[in-house]
Structure 1
Amino acid sequence: MKKFTLKRRYLIQNPKEVVKRILTTFPFYKKNLQQLFIENHPDASERLAVLGTRFHSLGEMEDFEEDLKSFLCADVSGDKRYKSRYLSLFGLPQTYDFSLYDVYKKCDKIGIKPFEFAFASGMSTHKVLKVLLYREMQFLEYDVALLLEDHAKAPKNIAKRAENIGYLLKISTVIFDEVMREKMLKILAPLLSQDRVRLLSFVQSRAYATMLLDMRFFLREQSGFYLLKKSEMPLLFFVKKYLKKEEFRIAKRLKKALY
């Protein structure tokens, strides 16, 4: 009869103290320990690590969790970012994951002043694409305001922003919902025209106002309704698989940041 085996991975704090506690106070758990991942680079957190364990009964696992609960931050068994391969490639998610809304706030604060995002290989692809879309939308709205003030370069700048937004939507076929993407691409089409009269008519239309509202909702939507299965793909995997032969300026920028 096959033995019952229950594997668990835990995010733990103070890993050295955890190991010491197990060896001195709970030595009978030593047999349950399989792996301990601690990052080994200057930016790594000394307080966090991932502990891989194996139990032969549910009761044994529950006792372990109870005895060491003060050190266990979370059961991360179901999160592939904490699997050995991902940890060896990208390190702990705490070193590269980010809050979309914190980045949005930073973008709002700096306005149209130029700044470079620091991309990391393990970052969620959908988060990175959303941040890039958010930034392009900021510039688009700024250029539309200049158009309304009769700025000479506004039509050309608007076309560039629309092209960038369209490109981000086109490369995200495995990341974002197809219906949403196609709808946005269709609405963006008039912005590619550099005809001032046509642009003025469009940016003062209900269609443009609706597009802005739809994009804002999409970028801030939290339920994951518009996300596809591969949306959490690490940025490095996405760039290598889907942007390998791409030469558009945004693709070049991402490849340069990661390679």
Structure 2
Amino acid sequence: MKKCTIKRRYLIQNPKEVVKSILTTFPSYKKNLQQLFVENHPNASDRLAVLGVRFQTIKEFSAFENDLDSFLCEDVSGDKRYKNRYLSLFGLPQNYDFSLYDVYKKCDKIGVRTFDFSLSSGMSTQKVLKVLLYREIQFLEYEVSLLLDDHAKAPKNLFKIAENIRYILSIASPVYDEMMRERMLKAFEPLLSEDREVLLKFVQQQAYATLLLDMRFFLREQSGFYLLKKSEMPLLFFVKKYLKKEEFRIAKRLKKALY
């Protein structure tokens, strides 16, 4: 059979048992092993690891997958989070990846009470920014209700929230579609006014209701239509490259959460 070089990375369970099985039951596969990454971290799972292997024939590759099938969780060869550099910096994605919808539910449960996010360096930038936007929209809707009840500080608070939202959208240029961002930035401009009458007029118009609907759709959109190629970059890379000299309060919060 024609020889070729087939490289694969697998997320495996029970790495000790995998090694034992290869050494005792399938010793012919010892030559195929290239790497075994087991995370050395207090909170890391000792049941998961990344196994790097290399094969010279398709037959050998197929036999390996068949013989060790019970240990192989997933072929992660195409996921750069499992490459050596990412693993050494951030560890296994299972320890820092998160579901947007699960976090949204927690935000809904907490309501408008303030709390500090715990962020990991390897987290997806686009997910983190979406969570920040989700929180600001929560605060926005709450302050609008206070504005309608004639609370004195509502205009000033709305100005600050609109600033935060627009800042998040502005720093997200490497992450989100430019046309979408520009449209949203413009749509939030009326909320930068601290004139109560101007604000009251805006939040009672269809434009405000449409803005909220657009934001909700964007925050829950799953196809990735609005995402750019760099959207999934680790948060650490984003902060170091794009926020290094930024002093706005959102940037400071992200830096503080990481370091």
TM-score by length of 2: 0.99
Three-state SS of the structure 2 residue aligned to 1:222 is coil
Aligned in 2, Cα 1:57/1:3: closer, same or farther, shift over 3 Å? Answer: closer
Structure 1 equivalent of residue 206 of structure 2: 206
1:5-38 CA distances to partner (integer Å, 9 max, x unpaired)? 1110000000000000010000000000010000
Partners of 1:69 and 1:104 in 2: how far apart?
Answer: 36
1:172-197 CA distances to partner (integer Å, 9 max, x unpaired)? 00100011100101010000000000
Instruction: Indicate if the aligned counterparts of 2:117 and 2:257 stay in contact, CA closer than 8 A.
Output: no
Structure 2 equivalent of residue 131 of structure 1: 131
Instruction: Indicate if the aligned counterparts of 2:5 and 2:55 stay in contact, CA closer than 8 A.
Output: yes
1:148 positional shift = 0.3
The reply to whether residue 23 of structure 1 matches residue 23 of structure 2 is yes
Partners of 2:3 and 2:71 in 1: how far apart?
Answer: 28
1:59 positional shift = 1.4
- Calculate percent identity across the aligned residue pairs: 79
* Matched letter for residue 105 of structure 1: K
Structure 2 equivalent of residue 108 of structure 1: 108
Structure 2 equivalent of residue 165 of structure 1: 165
Structure 2 equivalent of residue 35 of structure 1: 35
Structure 2 equivalent of residue 233 of structure 1: 233
Question: Unaligned 5+ residue runs, structure 1?
Answer: none
1:38-93 CA distances to partner (integer Å, 9 max, x unpaired)? 00111110010000000001111111001000000000000000000000000000
Question: Unaligned 5+ residue runs, structure 2?
Answer: none
* Matched letter for residue 187 of structure 1: A
* Matched letter for residue 50 of structure 1: V
The reply to whether residue 153 of structure 1 matches residue 153 of structure 2 is yes
Partners of 2:3 and 2:174 in 1: how far apart?
Answer: 40
* Matched letter for residue 7 of structure 2: K
* Matched letter for residue 169 of structure 2: L
Instruction: Indicate if the aligned counterparts of 2:33 and 2:52 stay in contact, CA closer than 8 A.
Output: yes
Three-state SS of the structure 1 residue aligned to 2:155 is helix
What is the aligned residue count? 258
1:258 positional shift = 1.4
Three-state SS of the structure 1 residue aligned to 2:7 is strand
1:115 positional shift = 1.2
Three-state SS of the structure 1 residue aligned to 2:78 is coil
1:113 positional shift = 1.1
Structure 1 equivalent of residue 65 of structure 2: 65
1:257 positional shift = 1.6
Structure 2 equivalent of residue 74 of structure 1: 74
Three-state SS of the structure 2 residue aligned to 1:45 is coil
Structure 1 equivalent of residue 245 of structure 2: 245
TM-score by length of 1: 0.99
Structure 1 equivalent of residue 219 of structure 2: 219
Runs in 1 of length 4+ with deviation above 6 angstroms?
none
1:3 positional shift = 5.8
* Matched letter for residue 149 of structure 1: D
